[in-house]
Amino acid sequence: MLKQAQRLIGQPGRNPLARSVLVVLGIAALLLAPFLVDALLGRAWVRVLDLVLLYTMLALGLNIVVGYAGLLDLGYVAFFAVGAYLYALCASPHFGLHLPFWLLLPAAALVAGLFGVLLGAPTLKLRGDYLAIVTLGFGEIIRIFLNNLNAPFNLTNGPQGITLIRPIEIAGVSMAKTQTIGPLSFPSLYNYYYLFLALTLLIILISARLQHSRVGRAWAAIREDELAAKASGVNTHNLKLLAFAMGASFGGIAGSLYASFQGFVSPESFGLTESIMILCMVVLGGMGHIRGVILGAAILVALPEALRYIGPLQRWLFGQIHVEPSDLRLLLFGLALVLVMRLRPAGLWPSPIRRRELGRPGAAEPPG
């Protein structure tokens, strides 16, 4: 039956009709996703869907630095924090400012990009482990500053964080309120889903254009052999700064959306564990491959929610809980990383180039 379907439809990349059908089905699935997820799994999973899109933006930003340019960044969460706190300070009673969303979103991208340049400038001559250690320190410095800038002037409200952050409003429509269009009702989680989806698709488009542009090819040259790229006339200095700035800008956008979505930010949300998690999304899915990064983000965001059912399952099978779901999450997470690095070192969905580089000698390249 599968072969018959393939003969009827043909290869999606070669058959324009099949490609158009797949595009239409994909758009329909994305538009109906919150309704289907709510009906099948419950409202809590719609929130997970929102977080998948949010972390997809973060992972795509880090993918520019790690996957495209080959620069190991362990402090990426700092740019996430910059965007979140910028939105929180300018859209909350903390300073009495209530600036509009359309102004704060580009401002978050711009300020986070500036912080990316500040991080990249002194680290241009570092590579590998040394670069990772410096970026790790940068991320911790930002977190510590946010935790302590409450005296003598209260800028960040310290460890208590900032509350009562105003939700996003677009053309007078609040994302936090249920909207009704004809017979359809769109709760707050639905509204945020469609906003996150639009911005995620925009970031995917920008990432794809960058990857296949002259700049993307120069980043690939730096990733493979920086010395050879420099000898070939590639301006490695400016291009590495551009990679840090672009990746940081995506992180700032995701941070501003996170602040409005949660309504609260604190330094605890921007620790080293968060940076490691975002990096694992890129590595697990496939560095440098947009679809692989999206897959990695979806798996690692949905995994904790899926493991919540392990507790009731153990109680039903054994009468008590032997392993806490939180401990099992870390165990399975570590096991998954070990297996991926052992069996699929290029990631679950690697780019064709990395599949050829890291595949077995003489093995046939899988399609796609």
Q: In sequence order, what DSSP letters do the residues of 108-157 get, joined into one string?
A: HHHHHHHHHHHHHGGGTT--HHHHHHHHHHHHHHHHHHHHHTTSSS-SS-
Question: What residues does each domain of the chain span?
Answer: 42-272
Assign 97 to helix, strand or coil: strand
Q: Are 132 and 72 in contact (CB under 8 A)?
A: yes
Task: Give me 46's structure tokens.
Answer: 């719609």
Q: What is the pLDDT of residue 253?
A: 96
Task: Show the beta-strand stretches assigned E in 171-313.
Answer: 173-174, 179-181, 184-186
pTM for the predicted model, two decimal places: 0.89
pLDDT in tens, the chain (368 residues): 445 444 444 444 557 788 888 888 999 999 999 999 999 999 999 999 999 999 999 999 999 999 999 999 999 999 999 999 999 999 999 998 889 999 999 999 999 999 999 988 888 888 888 989 999 999 999 999 999 999 888 999 999 999 999 999 988 888 988 888 888 889 999 999 999 999 999 999 999 999 989 999 999 999 988 999 999 899 999 999 999 999 999 999 999 999 999 999 999 999 998 999 999 999 999 999 999 999 999 999 998 888 888 878 778 888 887 777 777 777 877 888 888 888 888 888 988 766 665 554 444 444 33
Q: What is the pLDDT of residue 127?
A: 83
Backbone angles phi, psi at 154, to 5 degrees: -80, 95
Backbone angles phi, psi at 42, to 5 degrees: 110, 165
DSSP 74: S
Q: What is the pLDDT of residue 34?
A: 94
Please report how the helices 236-262 and 188-211 are oriented relative to each other, as an axis angle in degrees rounded to 10: 170
Q: What is the pLDDT of residue 340?
A: 83
Q: What is the pLDDT of residue 267?
A: 94
Q: What is the pLDDT of residue 32?
A: 93
Q: What is the pLDDT of residue 63?
A: 96
CA distance 260 to 265: 9
Q: What is the pLDDT of residue 173?
A: 86
Task: Give me 208's structure tokens.
Answer: 């794809």
CA distance 180 to 40: 22
Q: What is the pLDDT of residue 218?
A: 94
